[in-house]
Structure 1
Amino acid sequence: MGKSQKKKKSMRRHNPMRVPDSHLPKGLASAAQSSSRNAAVLPIIQKMESADTTERKWACVAVSNLIQNDPSTRRLLQGKNVVGALITRLTDSEEEVVVEAVGALRNLCIDGGYEICAEMYNKNILTPLTTFVPKISSVLSQYLANPKAAPENAQKLVYEFADNVITVLWCLSETSNKALNAINEINLTPFLMSFLASREKLPLGPVVSAAQCLYVLTDDNPPAIAVVRTDASHLSCLLSIARPENIANVEAVKNDPRLVTLSVLAAGILRNVSPLPPPTIVSLVDLDKDVVLPLLQPTIASISISEISSVAQELITQQANEPQIEKLSLKHAPKSDHKSSVEVELEKIETRLRTVQLALEILTGACATLPDPELGPAEEEEEGDDEVLEEEDNEGDMEMEAEDVDGDQPPVPAFIPTLVNPLLALIQPSALSFPPLAAPSPHPPTTSALSAVHITALECLNNVFLSLASSRKPEVAADVTSGAKIWNDVWSALAAVGTQTGLGQERREEIWEKAVGVLWGVGNVWKGSLEPNEEQVSLLIQFCNSSSVPRVKTQCIGTLECLAQRPDSIPANRVIADYLISLLPSGATPSSIDTEPLIQVASALIDIYSDENMPYDVNFRQGQYLNRLVSSVEGVRKAVRNIDRRKEGGRELRVRGDEVRDNLVAFIKYRRGLGL
């Protein structure tokens, strides 16, 4: 099993799109057909280049208004090079045009995600953005030194501008390593920390955006980590923000849930830069025990998916019944941040959900307590003998515990089991969690946030059960009732998700992919105790066959392996074993599956039938599985030898493959020696 961790190599955003557009057909023509605002697009692009300042400003505002929850219009604007046009406006001679252009780019980043961010980076958005950073710092210093130096509306404009610039930089940081390296050159950390240090004198918006940007920048990014880690004032500031007592004011948090977001982000940044160097006050704090968990546990328990979905549904209905005000009048150009009271409440719901998602992300890392396997130098390619099937005299007992974890594993932190129930509650979907089939969501941001919470909760559960399975705590395994309840809760969530696939339903499939990892973890903790339900076994086999992801196939096979070891479930054992046997290579015919799941198949069959005294061992003998295993050895050997160790994870897979191949050889000898 593998720990769920944020992807480091190819830095894709955890939530690539706030307003997904995968349900729409590809191409500019189809975007034009599906957009109800096709006629408005060309005038906007034309006015972007107008000699009239008012028209240029209007065009930038109009982009923000048109793309709101409207992916087809966003795609249409993209096809007309709206990104390039807005980036050009960042060097406009009029300040107000620049401000609105940054706001529109910010909204495109947030709603459109990775693809639009990549386009912005490729069109050199960082050059003008970089010039804004020192200007914002200078004005910010003046305002903080003398708050009455400028009118309130001027200050508001600067703070909103800062918020938008920081948000674009945050989104670009998550786009690719290339973009991240370019942003590292700007040395943003002191700039961002200045907002956090002055948080009590500034509006919450830019402060939270600065924390969000710093959280992303310190995620496995040594340059930013070093700046934070080596400055005691930075660490002290972050610790004071992350203190759990900061969110004790329920009324304040209810009015503005971003207060919780800020504390959670500070905790995440501290975890990102850990371990903290002595001799600072912060280094004396047990970060997880004293700060992270007391803050994050109540955060993830603070929402009920069903309640929050119900409130959101009422607001969406209310919004649909409100008269729509025309927002594109040139005479009365609205501010791009104009929101109705319903929109404000929906944004609060989204903020709460995104904060829970963030807390889950941090907890997922905290639950990944086990060290990754240490590998020695790459072994020489063996040309050696695999004369594994010859009858030899040394057919003694074989060791069947190759996968057991040594007794010196680090202890599982006490908090891990306490997370299970709140996490199980967060994986249960509501009617708003996914778009209806063949239709967009009634409110894409809420749907996107809900499904993201379900996915991150499953990732966290995966690490919880990986830790519990590896610790092999007898008292946990003995609580069979809890195991059955957890198992059934995960399947209940999957039943609500359904098996529908297709355009716009990618999140449903992703839920299944994450859930199978959790099922494997639960199966390992309560191996042999869980009852193999016929329908569930069938669904696991179907999902294994349909998935194109080797890791997911491996998890399905591992889960089936655990179910097959219930002593009294002889028919289910036969169904599972017949399926696993069918995946093995035979003679000159290679396996139909990739090497990683094939290795798991061989390991599973060894594990299932390692004890010939089990009631279900009758299936091994009657099905003549030994002969099939014998005919598979050469195919398994070839598959293992063909593993490319230069690829990511290749060395680890080769070590694992060699071990399983050796075990398969020894297992065949052992079973032959029994003479059954």
Structure 2
Amino acid sequence: MGRAPKRTFKDRATPLSASAAISGTTATVQKKEEVPALLKKLTSGDANDRVWAAASSSNLLMSEDPSVRRLLLSNSIVSALIDCMADSVPDVVLQVTGALHKLAAIDQGAAEEICRKNVFGAIQTLIPRLAKSIDDIIKQNEDGSKLTAEERKTVFQTTDNLISILWVLCETVPWSLKLINSMALIPFLVSFFKVIGKLPASLIQTAGQFLYTLTDANVPAQRALLTQPGAPQTLFAVLDSQHGDDTVTAEDFTIARILAGGVLANVKATALSQLERAHKGNEDGIPEAETKLWSDFSRVLLQIISEFIQFDPHAAAETAAASVKAAIVARTEADSSGAEPANGFKHEEALDLLSSRISYVQMALELAANIFTDEGADDADIDGDTASCGDESGDEDDNEDDDDAMASENEHDDKGYIRSFDDDVGGKSNEDDGVDFDVNEMEDILADEGTTAKEADDVVRQSVLGVFIGTIVPSLQRLAQPTKMTTLAAAISECTSTPSSDSIKLVTSVVENFAALHERALSCFNNVLLVIEESLNAWFRVHGDFVDQWWLLLIDIAQHLFGVGGAPAEFAEADQRLRFAVLEPTISCMWTLARSAQGAVPASREQIEGLIHVCEQAPSSDLRVKAIGVLGNIACRKPGYIEENRRIGSYLLDEIVSKNLLVPGAPDSSAAEPLIEALDLIYDIYSDMTFDYDEPVFAYGAFLEKLRKCYLPMRKLVKTIDRRVKRELRDRGDLVVQNMRGFIDYKGSERQAA
């Protein structure tokens, strides 16, 4: 399986608010035939016409009718909007930047076109103008205001839109990153951290989020920040400061600290690497004064995060459900009366605030998870090595001796079958190596293979991992627990008795927020389990109570997601998508926990049947592999679990392996990964005849004969995996076939030798 990747967020740049979800598709222009006239008004000499046209374009681009967006795009709406960014009227620029932001966020193709039409030049021209306006506003705050509140709001919202455009493009159009790097935005973005309390918190947060994204695995941006005079010091000052400014709330100030910490976390590896090169010839190494800022960085950031994520998802779900109900009622009444709701969109605004808070909790969880993963500094070297080994000499798939050639590169074990030096039970690949957390404190223990469980426990208590287990894991457990707004079926039932298209859209947007929160918490939790598994497995021998507690938590989550009724048929697809978005990281955690505890998890027969059901219903090969991994590790329990072993072993061999290989018709290569995982586990589960379940299950169940029948079909299936496209899977498949032959020979002679 492997560690959770450094980037645990998906779709971080989400511009659509709750109010947009319920009312954003209402277009000012009602007919497609009116679009050309609308585009013409974008260049009208009347500023009011241009404002109206830009706002209408924004609404139309959000239309559920894709033909409307296609019509706008075919009429060069992107070029027209970009040209309008140079408009002298602030309201026009505000509407145009808002429209481009929405368009880039919802349409990948449009985002690429925005990049091709050189939006970057238009933005670079606007930035100095906006920066001067912001500077004037700050000075006016000190000397007495000259701009009206509405004028200030326009400046702030336009700047927010501008940064958000770059943020979305950075996330969605990879090749745009080089162009964004060339814009030299670092001074502009860092400057927002110097004026916390003097500008809207939302604007500072948008700038911080973009800077965090920009410096994530982007070495040019990291170097630019580190060489910008005073930039790291500004971020450290924010991170280390305490709230004391009445102009900003404690929560907004904490978010700013977390954003500053996130940016510093992104550049830390590059900063230390630069220091190492600068002092390479220094016998005394790097002066302590130059590393002091980074020495206790992880602990400081974890402490801030642990305080921030004291968030109750159940209370939030109650608030969300009440706001959704009220918003639906208000919208229904407004539609029937033809007037705007009496209280405006206050309920949608409440949902937007809640959504924002949830998104920042997610970001904090991402940072916490990244503390326990590689910063990615060596990824380029790893990728380069992999590329250099690529198979460019033609198709070797027809070589019947492929698996024999592979055998020379691997290690034969004493049972006659092969183990790759980097192969491991559970399908972990070599990308799992080198977990980096609190390395200085853990160096001795990791080097000592004779470390006892108690020593491991003592070291954990004093390490960052100990801080994490003590202060953050309890919050992860709370944030992972499903609520009434976790599944679409339950949320629809809770919020409305007569579902409509608009109301379901609003409910879905809220459920997506809660599902994302659970997914991030579980991904973060999985990182903790992986660190313990890979580096301090002895810790579990001291804390079996944690194994039981964590297993039951994960089972409860899975049962909630998989054991409750579904949404109405017309919403079933979205319901399933959201359920599995949370179920997959839940199963990942189960897999890691079961491996770490060497199968010693308190899995009941009912839970085993539930995992089999997940495996059968899994919408992806990845989830099926994870469910198979959990089952295979549970099957290793001994002694006293013969019936459980029989159920799992029979399922793996009969339903996963034999059924896919021996049924009429050629097996599909898409089934290869689950088959490989199942076979790998079978080799380990039944590796020794002295196991109490081996004779009653493997021998009496005729497993050996079944495996013999599957050998040639499995070999044929593996040959269909294109090494040039899926090299790692092909290599693993070749290995599992070679091991299959060795395992069959070994098991055939095992009892004879005895």
TM-score by length of 2: 0.74
2:341 maps to 1:316: no
Aligned ranges 1:524-543 → 2 under 5 Å: 524-543=595-614
1:300-322 CA distance string (max 9 Å, x none): 2x211100111222233344454
Counterpart-to-counterpart distance in 2, 1:599 and 1:409: 33
Where does 1:189-588 land on structure 2 (aligned, <5 Å)? 189-231=186-228, 233-243=230-240, 246=242, 255=249, 257-275=251-269, 276-277=271-272, 278=275, 281=290, 284-286=293-295, 288-300=297-309, 302-322=310-330, 340-368=345-373, 378=389, 383=401, 386=404, 397=415, 403=424, 408=446, 413-418=465-470, 419-436=472-489, 440-477=504-541, 479-498=543-562, 500=566, 502-505=572-575, 506-547=577-618, 549-567=620-638, 568-582=640-654, 583-584=656-657
Give the superposition deviation at 1:229. 2.7
Distance 2:198 2:18 in 1: 36
> Any gaps of 5 or more consecutive residues in structure 1?
25-30, 389-393
Paired AA for residue 90 in structure 2: E
Worse overlay, 179-188 or 316-325: 316-325
Q: Distance in 1 between matches of 2:688 and 2:229?
A: 58
| Number of positions where the alignment pairs a residue of Structure 1 with one of Structure 2 | 644
Q: Which residue of the partner structure matches residue 595 of structure 1?
A: 672
Range moving further from structure 2, 425-434 or 39-48: 39-48
Letter paired with 1:4: A
| C-alpha distance in structure 2 between counterparts of 1:123 and 1:512, whole Å | 41
* Deviation sequence 1:344-388 (CA, Å, 0-9, x none): 433321221011111111222223369999778749978367599
Question: Partners of 2:587 and 2:181 in 1: how far apart?
Answer: 37
Alignment of 1:632 onto 2:632:
no
In the TM superposition, residue 620 of structure 1 has moved relative to its aligned partner by 0.4
- Does the 8 A contact of 2:561 with 2:579 survive in 1? yes
How far did residue 283 of structure 1 move? Answer: 5.4
The whole-number CA distance in structure 1 between the counterparts of 2:535 and 2:92 is 59
**Counterpart in the other structure of 1:49:** 40
Contact preservation (8 Å) 1:247, 1:259: yes
Between the aligned partners of 2:195 and 2:247, the Cα distance in structure 1 is 19
Aligned to 1:674: 750
Is the contact between residue 266 and residue 375 of structure 2 (CA under 8 Å) also seen in structure 1? no
Q: CA deviation at 1:657?
A: 4.2
d(CA) in 2 for partners of 1:590 and 1:6? 38
More off after superposition, 163-172 vs 342-351: 342-351
TM-score (norm: length of structure 1):
0.81
Q: Does the residue aligned with 1:414 lie in a helix, a strand or coil?
A: helix
Q: What is the rounded CA distance, in whole Å, between the counterparts of 1:635 and 1:284 in structure 2?
A: 59
CA contact under 8 A between 1:497 and 1:508: conserved in structure 2?
Answer: yes
Residues 562 and 228 of structure 1, relative CA distance in 2, 3 Å threshold: same
Please give the root-mean-square deviation of Cα atoms over the aligned residues, in Å.
4.4
Q: CA deviation at 1:626?
A: 1.7
1:48–1:55 CA contact under 8 A, matched in 2: no
Counterpart of 1:90 in structure 2 is: 85
- Between the aligned partners of 1:205 and 1:298, the Cα distance in structure 2 is 21
**1:179 is matched by which residue type in structure 2?**
S
- Identity score, percent: 25
- Assess, with a 3 A threshold, how the Cα gap between structure 1 residues 6 and 86 changes in structure 2: closer, same or farther: farther
Match of 2:556, as an amino acid?
S
CA distance in 2, matches of 1:229, 1:398: 54
Cα deviation for residue 430 of structure 1 reads 1.9
- Residue 27 (structure 1) aligns with: none
Q: Determine whether 1:58 maps to 2:131.
A: no
- Distance 1:263-1:202 versus aligned 2 partners, 3 A rule: same
Q: Distance in 2 between matches of 1:345 and 1:75?
A: 29
* Partner Cα separation in structure 1 for residue 65 and residue 614 of structure 2: 34
Map 1:63-78 onto structure 2 (within 5 A): 72-73=63-64, 78=69
Question: Could you say if the C-alpha distance between residues 378 and 657 of structure 1 is closer, same or farther in structure 2, counting changes exceeding 3 Å?
Answer: farther
CA distance in 2, matches of 1:75, 1:415: 50
**Structure (1 or 2) with the greater helix fraction:** 2
- In the alignment, is residue 610 of structure 1 matched against residue 683 of structure 2? no
The farther-off stretch of 561-570 and 284-293 is 284-293
User: Which deviates more from structure 2 when the two are superposed, residues 211-220 or residues 504-513?
Assistant: 504-513
Distance (Å, rounded) in 2 between the aligned partners of 1:609 and 1:207: 58
> For residue 217 of structure 2, what is the amino acid of its counterpart?
D
Q: Deviations over 1:577-607 (max 9, x none)?
A: 1222133365898655533322211210011
Mean Cα displacement is larger for which, 571-580 or 305-314? 571-580
Q: Aligned to 2:636, what secondary structure does the other structure show?
A: coil
Q: Is the 8 A contact 2:416 2:742 kept in 1?
A: yes
In 2: Cα distance, 1:129 partner to 1:108 partner = 16
Question: What is the aligned partner in structure 1 of residue 147 from structure 2?
Answer: 151
